[in-house]
Amino acid sequence: MSTLAELEPMADKLKYEHPLVDRYASKEMSAIWSPAKKFSTWRKLWLALAEAEKDLGLNISEEQLNEMRNHLYDIDFELAEKKENEFRHDVMAHVHTFGEKCPLARPIIHLGATSCYVGDNTDIIQMRESLILLRSKLVKLLEIMKGFAVQHRALATLGFTHFQPAQLTTVGKRCTLWMQDLTMDYEEIDRLIESMPMRGVKGTTGTQASFLELFDGDHDKVKTLNEKVCHKMGFNQWFHVSGQTYSRKLDFQVLSALSGLAQSAYKMCSDIRLLASMKEIEEPFGKSQIGSSAMAYKRNPMRSERVCSLSRYLMSLPQNAAQTHANQWFERTLDDSAVRRIVLPEAFLAGDVVLSTLSNIADGLHVWPAVIASHVKAELPFMATEVILMHGVKAGGDRQALHESIREHSMAAGRRVKEEGAANDLLQRIAEDPVFASVREELSSLVDPMRFVGRCPEQVDEFIVEVIDPILAKHAVSLSAVALDAVNV
């Protein structure tokens, strides 16, 4: 076992590096959950509170406010760390750090507020900004998948139930099944963005008692203070009541939406992994990419496997949030704090990676039509027997005699495929059987794969027009600004 002394020559690598940040997530999502974002948002909240308090008559000067405005982003993190070691309180450490930069404003920073005023409101702001980023990436993914679905709307392929060959579908139609799941995730994320409430200005246990003291018992001013601060921070809705914290049920709802996204991603990439094993569809594979250190020929679906791996983790997180909410006593207990510092950022970082990787996969999916056609050809004769039977009867044949002949030929052809590994010769057997002489010339047209895909091409067209295009149109401006993230494999 290595000792710390033995590892000392690699001192710059002795600190744990979080793979979600260092290996996978985008700069944008990492920035939202960074200390710079968190603590500058605290300062913006303190400024918004002071501005609103001044508007409502408290003795706060414009000079004090300007001082605060001028020091929103120059945070002395070393001083804040020193103060936290002294006070054992992160919020008061940053109150004093801000006060060092703003000596005039120092007496009114955090006036009437409790720690959760900055802590909880910042969490909500970070979650909403993260959801907006995920929504933009999700819309971009749907745009990419639209192109794939339209391109392959009429490419017949085997459908599967129980992972056994079933009635034909099309490659494009199958893609719309993945897209439909993702549109449901889009709708839930969009709902959360539009309806997410801010905690607002509530005081120590949610009673607003400290603010009622500041405004000499004027309830209307306290109510207006809450509304002003929320509006200044970009929120039109707020929790009407709270304890010291906002209801942790909101965390559960948000993580449940991210879990839903992970479920959709897992299902899509599981399908792609199975299709890759059949050599029908493959994810992008770099020119110099190595699939296996031992088996040089392999093209492992590493991107899809990564999506499934991270999605599995993301799907587990709502249970954590549920336990946190359920275990909050009365107005608040602090056993929610440490775990939320881990769970909330990691959920969004994981969701960010999942969407970035899905877009990378969808943008480079490679379809092998010849392989797909060979699989269809191997199974379609069995599926076509009912059509052949109906045409034989229409041509004057005996339904029962034709059915028995098809049954015998099907069993023999199936046994040959399984015992000898030979090709399916069912159609040849039927063509050579005198009882089918009346439809012999029709057989090739009766087994045209497009006879068996139903309305798949039309369903793709309708789904795109009725479901996807309205979403893309709604986000046309932001969509043009979204670039695909690089994916490290």
Catalytic site positions? 162, 292
Q: Which residues of 401-415 are buried (b: 16+ CB within 10 A; e: fewer)?
A: ebbebbeebbeebee
The tokens of 337 are what?
Answer: 């704090």
- Only one residue has tokens 């020559």, namely 9
Residue 25's φ and ψ, nearest 5 degrees, are -70, 160
Q: Which residue from 321, 159, 147 is spatially nearest to 248, judged by alpha carbons?
A: 321
Q: Report the distance separating Cα 224 and Cα 52, nearest Å.
A: 9
Q: How far is the CA of 396 from the CAs of 393, 401, 442, in angstroms?
A: 5, 12, 15
Cα–Cα dist 15/17, whole Å: 6
Instruction: State the virtual CA torsion across 466, 469, 474, 477 in degrees, nearest 10.
Output: -170
Please name which of 77, 218, 194 lies closest in space to residue 131, comparing C-alpha atoms: 194
Backbone angles phi, psi at 166, to 5 degrees: -135, -170
Cα Rg, the chain, nearest whole Å: 31
Q: What's the longest Cα–Cα distance across the chain? A: 104
Tokens of 433: 């059987």
Give the tokens for residue 329.
Answer: 């006593």
d(CA 119, CA 380) in angstroms, rounded, equals 62
State phi, psi for 456 to the nearest 5 degrees: -50, -50
Concatenating the DSSP letter of every residue in 119-149 gives HHHHHHHHHHHHHHHHHHHHHHHHHHHHHHH
Hunting for tokens 């309205």 — which residue is that?
470
Spell out the alpha helix ranges (H) of 364-442. 369-383, 385-394, 399-420, 426-432
Alpha helices in 233-297 (DSSP H): 249-277
Query: Residue 104: helix, strand or coil by DSSP?
Result: coil
